[in-house]
Amino acid sequence: MLFFLTGFLAGIALMCLFYEELVIENGYLDSQFMSGLRHLDIDKSRLLLYCLQERLGIVAFLVLLSAAGAGWAGICLLLIWFGGSAGGVLTALSMRYGVKGIFFFLSCMLPQQLLLIPGYLMLMDWCHRRMERKRLLIPLVVVIMGCFVESYVNPYILKVVLRFF
């Protein structure tokens, strides 16, 4: 938790210190971007492939580092990255849109994070303890289930929430 919170606070700090350069000048999450999202027709099967590629890439990264004896370092880096990403995006959205931005952030995260977070925590536990290979199957299945939810459930939630932007 310490590593995640460190990254989270670093993400917030970076957004606060460099808000003009990172958000305003680049049009990051501006109204034009949100309008484009609202009118986007998502190909759910391609989204699933993308999510699987991204999420299973993280799984492979941790498993390979664990096999090399550096699982703990990979876990720390990943937690800092996850925290920094969440802190930065949440800060940008809340500074740009206020409470609506926080609501949008939550709608982007749910419900798939209810599966992805436990899946990654089980994976991190597996990497830290270097358990037998067959015990890797459960976190892997949970992460894959999270990808299905992210691809087939979350787009409907986002469509509803984006009506407010």
- Average pLDDT (63-74) is 93
pLDDT value of position 85: 97
pLDDT value at 131 more than 80: no
The crossing angle, in degrees rounded to 10, of helices 44-67 and 71-97 is 140
- 85-104 confidence digits (pLDDT tens): 999 999 999 999 999 999 99
List C-alpha distances in Å: 94 to 24, 43, 124, 132, 143.
13, 28, 30, 43, 28
Query: 58 or 27, which is more confident?
Result: 58
The alpha carbon of residue 82 and the mean position of all alpha carbons in its chain are separated, in whole angstroms, by: 7
> How far apart (Å, rounded) are the C-alpha atoms in residues 95 and 158?
20
pLDDT recorded at residue 134: 82
What's the pLDDT score for residue 133? 79
Percentage with pLDDT > 70 across the chain: 99
Percent of the chain with pLDDT over 90: 86
- Note the pTM of the prediction, 2 decimals: 0.90
What are 147-165's pLDDT values in tens digits?
Answer: 999 999 999 999 999 998 8
Give the confidence band of 132 by pLDDT, cuts at 50, 70, 90: confident
Strand, coil or helix: 153: coil
What confidence tier does 130 reach under pLDDT thresholds 50, 70, 90? confident
Tokens matching residue 147: 């990808």
